[in-house]
Amino acid sequence: MLNADELRIEDLPGLVGQTLESPYITVDTRLRALFEEATMIEEFMTPEVRALYPEGLLEGFHLLGLLDHFISKYINWEEDSYGLNYGLDRVRFVSTMQAGRPLRFRTTVSKVEPKGDGYIVHFECVLEHEGEERPGMVATWLCYQLPKEEEDEGATAEDGAR
């Protein structure tokens, strides 16, 4: 199991094959409504269109947005590095997921590639409802982890310091 305490950038290559599993959380209808408001879904979601979908359906992009929550909450990166979203190689919404039902995140590091001063980490991500055989979503998410640049205390704006 992936030990998520104080990961250093130099430890990343050794994470291949390790898994992290979150506790169950519940995305309630209030959070679902906030997502819909933020993404302006209501502009086209008439009552007739809404009736076509299962009650309490969590939208696919809402599920994708939860990946960042889980990675940020359960992997504690040391303060000497930072991560960037590098994209998704594969996403599948396998079965519906509903607000109000417990769900959890599971990920396995499948690959770590050097890139520049950092690494591209490939996370094989799964979101699943408690008690369900099939996951709700699977995705391969790439994160670019980079070292923070050390600031030169003696540098000035004329030297190009920020």
Predicted TM-score (pTM) of this structure: 0.81
Using CB atoms within 10 A of its CB, is residue 64 exposed (0-12), middle (13-18) or buried (19+)?
middle
pLDDT per residue as tens digits for the range 27-75? 988 888 778 777 787 777 788 877 787 788 888 898 999 998 888 887 7
Contacts for 115 with CB less than 8 Å, ≥ 6 apart: 144
pLDDT at 117 over 50: yes
